[in-house]
Structure 1
């Protein structure tokens, strides 16, 4: 079970910010071998969902209210540390993120830009594909909606 902490940007400690940027870089840049601009100026508008196991950040997302990223509320930068994925922390952090959107923004419709290979994972969370697959930073993605 993950310990979940939800904070807006200004509430993050320097160490928390460092840890989440390190985890994002570890997975999205190094593991996925993708050179892209992770620090995109949107973190300041997001709520950050931090998932800890034994005081170590192992899972993370950021959520947005409608209009900040997409027209709908959204979840992005979904990441789980590679050696902890077998514990299904992806489901735990996503469920916490969905609940945070309901409680913080009073929204139920959520749009994500999902890496296509994770489509089944998101289908299991009741997200469904909309539109065509596209490349984002050289990786196939698909828009998905949960309503």
Structure 2
């Protein structure tokens, strides 16, 4: 696995170049690679903490952490690893760091995510359990998953 540093910030703390790199990775992965036409810029990024794994100036992976509503569980979403760095266990590192940061920001709360259905086993390895049946979102089968507070 490449060396990385963890960077967690709010959207307004990014430079234009840093923001461009993160949004480009998300579009490259979700819209282009997965051929999923959906509103990537959904208006929620302003409310999120953005987690990035960095190697110097190079963005390796990213995710966003947020609470969609005051009475909802915090969520991990937009989980993406740079295509050039897959197979190097960065997905696991990204999820471990995302859980740590969620627990810091939202102590003693369960964490939710909407998993692509084929990744259920991956997320289960971090303690997430399905809480919904399979459904299609943006033409991709998904399942909602929950990790109980520790």
Same fold (TM over 0.5): yes
Question: Is the contact between residue 52 and residue 62 of structure 2 (CA under 8 Å) also seen in structure 1?
Answer: yes
> Following TM superposition, where does structure 1 have runs of at least 4 consecutive aligned residues deviating by more than 6 angstroms?
none
Q: Secondary structure at the match of 1:20?
A: helix
**Comparing both structures, which one devotes a greater share of its residues to helix?**
1
Question: Does 2:80 correspond to 1:57?
Answer: no
TM-score under structure 1 length normalisation: 0.93
The alpha-carbon deviation at position 131 of structure 1 amounts to 1.4
Give distance in 2, aligned partners of 1:61 and 1:110.
14
How many residue pairs get aligned? The number is 146
Residue number in structure 2 paired with 1:19: 21
Q: Secondary structure at the match of 2:42?
A: coil
Structure 2: stretches of 5+ with no match in the other structure: none
Question: Is the contact between residue 23 and residue 79 of structure 1 (CA under 8 Å) also seen in structure 2?
Answer: yes
Residue number in structure 1 paired with 2:141: 140
Larger deviation, residues 133-142 vs 98-107: 98-107
Q: Secondary structure at the match of 2:133?
A: strand
Residue number in structure 1 paired with 2:121: 120
State how 1:1-147 maps to structure 2 within 5 Å.
1-65=3-67, 67=69, 71-147=72-148
